[in-house]
Amino acid sequence: MKCYPVPRENLVLSIDNLKDDIPEEYLSHKECYENVIRKGSVLYDIFSELSKDRKHKAHQAPSNAYRISDGIMQNVNPFLLHFALFVPAITNQATPEQQAEFLKHGFGIIGTYAQTELGHGTFLRGLETTATLDLETDEFVLNSPTLTSYKWWPGGLGHTANHCVVMAQLYVKGKCHGPHLFFVQIRDIETHEPLPGLKLGEIGAKMGFNTADNGFLGFHNFRIPRNNMLMKNSQVLKDGTYVESKNEKLTYGSMVFVRVYLLSDMAYMLARAATISVRYSAVRHQSHIKPDEPEVQILDFVIQQHKLFISIATSHAFKICGLWLWQTYSKVMEDIGKGSMDRLPELHALSCCLKTTSTRDAGWLIEQCRLACGGHGYLMSSNLPSLYTTATAAITYEGESTVLLLQTARYLIKSWKRAMEGESLPATVSFLSEYFNKRYNKWENTPKGIVDGLKLVVAGVTKMCAESIQKHVSRGQQYEEAWNSSSVQLIKASEAYSRALLCEVFWFEVDKVSSTLSNNLAVVLKQLAELYITYWALEKRGDLLVYTTISKDDLDKLQERYEELLALIRPNAVGLVDSFDIRDEILCSTLGAYDGRVYERMMEHALKSPLNAETVNQSFHKYMKPVILKHKI
Ligand SMILES: CCCCC/C=C\C/C=C\C/C=C\C/C=C\CCCC(=O)SCCNC(=O)CCNC(=O)[C@H](O)C(C)(C)COP(=O)(O)OP(=O)(O)OC[C@H]1O[C@@H](n2cnc3c(N)ncnc32)[C@H](O)[C@@H]1OP(=O)(O)O
Ligand SMILES: Cc1cc2nc3c(=O)[nH]c(=O)nc-3n(C[C@H](O)[C@H](O)[C@H](O)COP(=O)(O)OP(=O)(O)OC[C@H]3O[C@@H](n4cnc5c(N)ncnc54)[C@H](O)[C@@H]3O)c2cc1C
């Protein structure tokens, strides 16, 4: 076995045929895909070797290990779904024997997670793909009965994967048992040809993610062994007996894994955007502050600091909360392994709202970083446009944001009702029980005071939702209708909950570790945490005025403190993004390179445009010249 020296970054980045002669943005859709498969296969080979001595762990904590691919495949790695969902679905949903069987080829197979269909993405109970047990042959027969039942969107499905985990409606003896997962080979390992009975292809160009190879898949009487249903949670026995799962939602467990993961993922996306835009803002001189002095670094404009420092702070907030959420996830998975499902609803609710807030915030903050770089931020060579289109896809995939926030709202309303009945609540929602006692507490202009205030907003809005639902029901609506009528407020309750969680976890985790840090580091981290909390207190001042005793004077003082924090962070701003320690080869940005040679890099990159290969493009002679000459007076 070849032994690769570590660290992986040096190894990977030293491989010549992983570099592009022509920037990706100048390749065709097809060339882009072929190029990314070329590079991805080299990486796949390296990681396969490196991972040989490591068993597939059911759940790997968020790490930056797979981040090297972001530099090599600036768009998206078509093998990502293999690691992000295919393997976790098998390790999370298959029996140990099935895992041994399905994963025996290790990296010899490439998989994806095929759940979404042309007609259904959110409403999983409405999925149309069927898996019908054939008792005689001990097989399942997979079918796509309608066009809308075609699997549509799974990453890597078009041309990359040769296996997938398929979510299909399970039918046994004429009875439907709802969505279940199945291990399915879709291409021949040797020839890569689609297997008979399948229709496979790629879904076409997208706003971004164009190397993810999102595909479609239709089944026509496609047979798989009965044992290919992932049977850790529910089983179908040889005689057709269906054994129910202890909780049917365990089937949805792989989605929870990725939602939890995405918080850390967004921390990293934001770290890259912040590094690019802050470094550029330190290099770019434009305009004056004092008329009689030279043009200033645009980073000296306080409004530029206001645009950018929140991204530095948010990246840390997501990283710290991502680790906190990962610990919760690991604990709940451990409990489930011991047969206790008690905390699954709480984990689902937390992962839904935190995935939504982190992906939405990453989207608009990356866009804010781009806009803060002026025209040069609009260049593909800045890498900010690609970061934006990649990050914003996550607002939709793995659970569309509106839908997930409504799931969290379900949990908040249930928790509110339990609180009103005097029941004890999990720590993450116990503040709901204290609402009436704390509603009129004197406002404190401290990070803890703000966190308490944001929690009062959550409780107040949740109370308002519960009352709204009750009002609609009393006017004759069914509960589900009343829920729909109140959904604007329900979304607000979940958003407020997510923000309060992020502020609380960020502040208290930083506060907890600060005594273990060097004084300077503790001071700067606390400044970032306080900036984050104060920023959101000011953004949510309306809600705080309604649900807490905060005064105009308190808000004025918060605004003053916020501007003080910007000034305190300014001297460390470049150091803070340098500490994200993202190498140029992974940052892939003419504006954000460590050496600050922005203009030289921009020109070097521009000259790589195929259009600059000649001084006069052939279109002049073919098209323009005849018209110019014809109309020449
Ligand atoms: C080298 C290692 C690398 C590892 C890298 C890892 C990650 C990398 C990071 C980022 C990149 C990752 C991936 C790459 C890019 C793209 C991947 C995208 C993949 C996909 O895009 S993949 C498809 C995702 N597609 C969805 O996300 C569908 C959303 N739609 C649903 O999720 C459901 O459809 C729902 C919930 C809307 C309605 O479902 P429903 O109608 O059946 O339920 P309903 O509302 O009626 O009831 C609700 C009751 O179910 C409980 N409940 C529901 N869901 C639960 C769950 N998950 N867990 C536990 N409990 C759950 C509730 O708590 C409640 O409980 P209660 O009743 O007690 O309130
Ligand atoms: C880049 C990308 C990669 C993807 N990769 C994969 C993959 O690898 N595997 C896979 O299986 N899927 C994948 N998906 C699909 C993704 O999971 C779905 O797009 C997502 O779940 C949303 O479903 P939908 O697109 O059908 O939208 P719909 O469910 O049709 O929702 C459309 C809109 O309707 C509204 N809506 C829907 N339901 C409700 C409700 N109950 N209450 C209120 N409003 C509602 C929402 O506003 C929503 O935005 C990917 C998608 C993208 C964009």
CATH of the domain at 271: 1.20.140.10
Cβ 400 under 6 angstroms from ligand 2: yes
Nearest-ligand number for the alpha carbon of 390 = 2
Q: Are residues 452 and 505 in the same domain?
A: yes
Q: Please check whether residues 235 and 383 belong to one and the same domain.
A: no
The better pLDDT of the pair 5, 22 is held by 22
**Is 211 marked within a binding site?**
no
Which atom from ligand 1 is nearest to the alpha carbon of 397?
21
Weakest mean pLDDT among 283-292, 511-520, 598-607, 621-630: 511-520
**Stretch 287-312: mean pLDDT:** 97
Residues 270 and 197 in one domain: no
Q: Where are the alpha helices (DSSP H) in 86-159?
A: 87-93, 96-102
User: What is the distance between the alpha carbons of residues 199 and 186, in angstroms, rounded to a whole number?
Assistant: 9
Whether the per-residue pLDDT at 3 is higher than 60: the answer is no
Atom of ligand 1 lying closest to residue 258 CA = 7
For ligand 2, say whether the CB of 564 is within 6 Å of any of its atoms: no
Considering the domain architecture, whether residues 198 and 87 belong to the same structural domain is answered as yes
> Which contiguous run of DSSP H or E holds residue 359?
helix 344-371
Closest protein CA for atom 36 of ligand 2: 403
How far is it between the farthest Cα atoms of the chain? 90
Ligand 1: does its nearest atom lie under 6 Å from the Cβ of 350? no
User: 261 near 92, Cβ under 8 Å?
Assistant: no
Q: What percent of the chain has pLDDT over 90?
A: 87
Cβ of residue 410 lying under 6 Å from some atom of ligand 2? no
Is residue 304 in some structural domain? Answer: yes
The residue whose CA is least distant from atom 52 of ligand 2 is 397
- Residues 143 and 219: beta-carbon distance below 8 Å: yes
Q: What is the CA(300)–ligand 1 centre distance, in A? A: 44
The protein residue whose alpha carbon is closest to atom 55 in ligand 1 is: 249
- In the reported structure, the alpha carbon of residue 241 is separated from the centroid of ligand 1 by a whole-number distance in angstroms of 27
Question: Of 398, 495, 509, 530, which is the active-site residue?
Answer: 398
Give the closest residue (by CA) to ligand 1 atom 47.
Answer: 407
pLDDT given at position 61: 67
ipTM of the complex as predicted:
0.97
Instruction: Tell me if 216 CB under 6 Å of ligand 2.
Output: no
Residue 551 lies in a domain: yes
Where is the domain boundary, 252, 275, 300? 252
How far is it, in rounded angstroms, from Cα 615 to Cα 88? 53
Together in a domain, 187 and 311:
no
Give the dihedral of Cα atoms 78, 79, 84, 87; nearest 10 deg. 140
Q: What is the mean pLDDT of residues 352-366?
A: 98
Q: Which amino acid is at 126?
A: G
Residue 612 lies in a domain: no
Catalytic residue flag (residue 24): no
Q: Whose CA is nearest to atom 5 of ligand 2?
A: 154
Q: 33 and 48 in one domain?
A: yes
Give the model's pLDDT for residue 47.
78
Measured from the Cα of 115, ligand 1's closest atom is: 23
Q: Ligand 2: which residue has its CA nearest to atom 26?
A: 121
One domain, residues 288 and 200? no
Distance between CA atoms of 216 and 112, rounded to whole angstroms? 12
Torsion, Cα 574 579 583 587, to 10 degrees, reads -60
Please indicate, yes or no, whether residues 289 and 312 belong to a single structural domain of this protein. Answer: yes
Please tell me the pTM assigned to this model.
Answer: 0.96
Residue 301, number of CB atoms within 10 A of its CB: 16
Confidence (pLDDT) at 481 = 98
Shared domain check, 527 and 417: yes
Q: Each residue of 404-449: pLDDT tens digit?
A: 999 999 999 999 999 999 999 999 999 999 999 999 999 999 999 9
Give residue for tokens 């949990």.
411
User: In this structure, is residue 337 part of a structural domain?
Assistant: yes
Beta-bridge mates of residue 229: 182
Same domain, 238 and 366: no
pLDDT at residue 74, as a whole number? 76
The number of distinct structural domains making up the chain is: 2
Out of 12, 79, 348, 390, mutate this one to test ligand 1's pocket (max ligand atoms within 8 Å of CB): namely 348
Measured in Å, residue 400 CA sits from the centre of ligand 1 at 9
Residue 498 backbone dihedrals phi, psi, to 5 degrees: -60, -45
**Closest to 400 measured CA to CA, from 70, 62, 116, 181:** 116
Among 289, 365, 374, residue whose Cα is nearest residue 535: 365
Whether the bond between 426 and the residue before it is cis, its omega within 30 degrees of 0, is: no
Residues 244 and 272 in one domain: no
CA angle centred on 369, ends 367 and 375, rounded to 5°: 85
More confident residue, 73 or 357: 357
For residues 245 and 290, membership in a common domain is answered with: no
The answer to the question of residue 615 being in a domain is: no
User: 431 is written with which tokens?
Assistant: 């503040």
Range of the domain at 68: 5-252
State the CATH number of the domain containing residue 173.
2.40.110.10
Atom of ligand 2 nearest to the CA of 116: 11
Assess whether the C-beta atom of 80 lies below 6 angstroms from ligand 1. yes
CA of 264 to the centre of ligand 2 (A): 21
pLDDT on residue 45: 83
CA 543 – ligand 2 centroid, Å: 30
Is 155 annotated as belonging to a binding site? yes
Among 112, 208, 101, smallest CA distance to 155 is for: 112
The atom number, within ligand 2, closest to the CA of 399 reads: 21
Nearest to 505 by CA among 459, 448, 438: 448
Domain boundary residue among 577, 599, 620? 577
Amino acid letter, 194: P
H or E stretch at 322: helix 302-337
% residues pLDDT > 70 (the chain): 97
Task: Provide the pLDDT confidence category of residue 108 given band limits of 50, 70 and 90.
Answer: confident
Distance (Å) from CA 149 to ligand 2 centroid: 14
Looking at residue 5, its pLDDT comes to: 39
Burial class of 177 by CB neighbour count within 10 A (0 to 12, 13 to 18, 19+): middle
In the prediction, which pLDDT does 7 show?
61
Q: Which residue has the higher pLDDT, 22 or 206?
A: 206
Domain C-terminal end among 553, 577, 601:
577
- Compute the distance between CA of residue 129 and CA of residue 144 in angstroms, rounded to an integer: 5
The whole-number pLDDT of residue 106 equals: 80
Residue nearest to atom 48 of ligand 2 (CA): 400
Whole-number Å distance between alpha carbons of 354 and 405: 9
Distance 180 CA to ligand 1 centre (A): 13
Strands 151-152 and 215-219: antiparallel
pLDDT at 54 over 90: no
Ligand number, closest to the Cα atom of 214: 2
Report the C-alpha gap between 295 and 109 in whole angstroms: 57
Residue 456 has pLDDT above 60, yes or no: yes
What's the pLDDT score for residue 59? 60
Within 140-219, where are the H helices? none
Query: How many A from CA of 295 to the centre of ligand 2?
Result: 48
Report the distance separating Cα 226 and Cα 290, nearest Å: 76
Is residue 597 in some structural domain?
no
Nearest CA to ligand 2 atom 17: 397
Q: What average pLDDT does the structure give for the chain?
A: 94
In a domain, 49, yes or no: yes
Is 583 among the domain residues? no
pLDDT tens readout for residues 183-203: 999 999 999 999 999 999 999
